[in-house]
Amino acid sequence: MPSKYILVTGGTGFIGSHTSIALAAAGYIPLLLDNFSNSDARVLQRLNNIIGTTPKLVEGDVRDTPLLAKLFGDYDITGVMHFAGLKAVGDSVADPLSYYDVNVCGTVNLARAMKASGVKTLIFSSSATVYGEPESSPIPEHAPFAPANPYGQSKAMSELILADLHKSDPTWRIARLRYFNPVGAHESGLIGELPQGKPNNLMPFVSQVAVGIRERLTVHGNDYPTPDGTGVRDYVHVMDLAEGHVAALRHVTDNPGLLTLNLGTGVGASVLDVVNTFERVSGRPVARDMGPRRPGDVPAYWADPSQALATLGWKAKRGLDEMCADSWRWQALNPDAYDRRTRPRTTSTAV
Ligand SMILES: NC(=O)c1ccc[n+]([C@@H]2O[C@H](COP(=O)([O-])OP(=O)(O)OC[C@H]3O[C@@H](n4cnc5c(N)ncnc54)[C@H](O)[C@@H]3O)[C@@H](O)[C@H]2O)c1
């Protein structure tokens, strides 16, 4: 019998590669599409070490219409998880057209190819950035859209396009998953996040200081109205996120519709909570300085993940200790992260 695949766009990236493991563990066959603009082909061998087989990979761009037509013709694809995209907020302000092109046009092109081939099951990577600066936390899914930068806009626009698509044909099965702050790595330490150049995100920065690649962490702001004065975020382990995708896929497969869910822990952790936990689980000091607030940073936000629990039975299982321990294992085993540290940064950071 021919294999049935779940197409994973951006499948060699941070969240796509971890989700491919969760898909394989659940009995699905992931088929990866990636243009390697922010990933490395060596991830495939690592996935083989974890899954026991090398996932099929098609190298190419999600905006390439003929390529997608061929892909859907060549493989029996039953559903799609769409991770491919650009994710650096700062870069999106400097180069909005690239963000709208890859993130919005890429999503439209993919959905069109799916429609043409009759594949109507789509799990979409959205982001808590669609909420902008939320008035209060925890943030429920019905909080207003208020993206504050082109990256967030590109996710909000893609969400609206998918809602219109579903309205035009209610037999579509679409999940729009809004991630909070994905961190951690697979417990094997074989795959993890691959920041290029200097990371803007906290966890990769902390782990690079702990391993000795960077001298000190600057904490941006310690005078926020939070318990210790530093910014509070909802960090979620990437394997929890990956399992949330599989749960969403199962759900929409059985229930056609348009699903919109937050994926977060519902618990806020401050910058100092993360740094102190990281020091404790790694046994390494993380030198830090207090610096001024960064423009545009929100003091605190975290998810209301109760809808994901009610709808999918999904709840994040891994706490901050595990997030830090797994990030540290990945960093310690791969200090050069495929030599990418030294390459110029294109799209290294996310919100
Ligand atoms: N990491 C986060 O903090 C975060 C938070 C919220 C949402 N997201 C979203 O989740 C998705 C995955 O994020 P990630 O952290 O794994 O990022 P990532 O950069 O590690 O992975 C994205 C992958 O997509 C590939 N890609 C980029 N443009 C492509 C294109 N045009 N065609 C084909 N492949 C392309 C990259 O090479 C990379 O492998 C993104 O859409 C991102 O916006 C990420």
pLDDT at residue 2, as a whole number: 62
Same domain, 141 and 223: no
- Kindly state whether residue 83 falls inside one of the protein's structural domains: yes
Tell me what the mean pLDDT of segment 226-239 comes to: 97
Give tens-digit pLDDT for 128-152: 999 998 889 999 999 999 999 999 9
- Kindly state whether residue 32 falls inside one of the protein's structural domains: yes
Beta-ladder partners of 262: 178
Q: Residue written as tokens 């700062």?
A: 90
CA 13 to ligand 1 center in whole angstroms? 6
- Kindly state whether residue 163 falls inside one of the protein's structural domains: yes
pLDDT of 345 over the 80 cut: no
- Kindly state whether residue 147 falls inside one of the protein's structural domains: yes
Mutate to test the pocket of ligand 1, among 91, 125, 348 (most ligand atoms within 8 A of CB): 125
> φ, ψ for residue 262 (rounded to 5)?
-75, 135
CA 85 to ligand 1 center in whole angstroms? 4
Same domain, 120 and 178: yes
Does the Cβ of 13 fall within 6 Å of ligand 1? Answer: yes
Mutate to test the pocket of ligand 1, among 17, 21, 38 (most ligand atoms within 8 A of CB): 38
3-state secondary structure 124-141: EEEEHHHHCCCCCCCECC
pTM reported for the whole predicted model: 0.96
* Burial label, 95 (beta-carbon count in 10 A; 0-12, 13-18, 19+): middle
Same domain, 243 and 330: no
- Kindly state whether residue 191 falls inside one of the protein's structural domains: no
Tell me what the mean pLDDT of segment 8-14 comes to: 98
Same domain, 89 and 166: yes
Does the Cβ of 264 fall within 6 Å of ligand 1? Answer: no
Same domain, 56 and 144: yes
Does the Cβ of 182 fall within 6 Å of ligand 1? Answer: yes
Same domain, 141 and 254: yes
Does the Cβ of 34 fall within 6 Å of ligand 1? Answer: yes
Active site residues: 151
Does the Cβ of 265 fall within 6 Å of ligand 1? Answer: no
- Kindly state whether residue 351 falls inside one of the protein's structural domains: no
Same domain, 166 and 80: yes
- Kindly state whether residue 223 falls inside one of the protein's structural domains: yes
Give tens-digit pLDDT for 154-174: 999 999 999 999 999 999 999
Does the Cβ of 159 fall within 6 Å of ligand 1? Answer: no
Does the Cβ of 348 fall within 6 Å of ligand 1? Answer: no
Is the backbone peptide bond immediately before 138 cis, with ω within 30 degrees of 0? yes
| Residue-level length of the chain | 351
Same domain, 171 and 281: no
Same domain, 275 and 241: no
3 state DSSP class of 61? coil
- Kindly state whether residue 212 falls inside one of the protein's structural domains: yes
CATH code at position 321: 3.90.25.10
Which residues, including other chains, have CB under 8 Å from residue 133's CB and lie 6 or more apart? 146, 148, 298
Mean pLDDT of the chain: 94
CATH code at position 152: 3.40.50.720
pLDDT of 265 over the 80 cut: yes
Tell me what the mean pLDDT of segment 181-191 comes to: 98
- Residue 203: its H or E element: helix 202-211
Max Cα-Cα span within the chain: 62
Same domain, 100 and 82: yes
* 198 confidence band (pLDDT: 50, 70, 90): confident
CA 235 to ligand 1 center in whole angstroms? 17
Nearest CA to 147 out of 174, 178, 123 is that of 178
**Residue whose CA is closest, atom 23 of ligand 1?**
10
Sign of the alpha-carbon dihedral angle for 350, 318, 305, 107: positive
Same domain, 271 and 213: yes
| Structural domains of the chain, count | 2
From the CA of 182, give the closest atom in ligand 1: 3
Rounded-to-integer distance, Cα 46 and Cα 287, Å: 31
Range of the domain at 37: 4-183+235-263
**DSSP secondary structure letters along 224-279:** SSSTTSS-EE-EEEHHHHHHHHHHHHHHHHHS-EEEEEEES-S--EEHHHHHHHHH
Same domain, 166 and 224: no
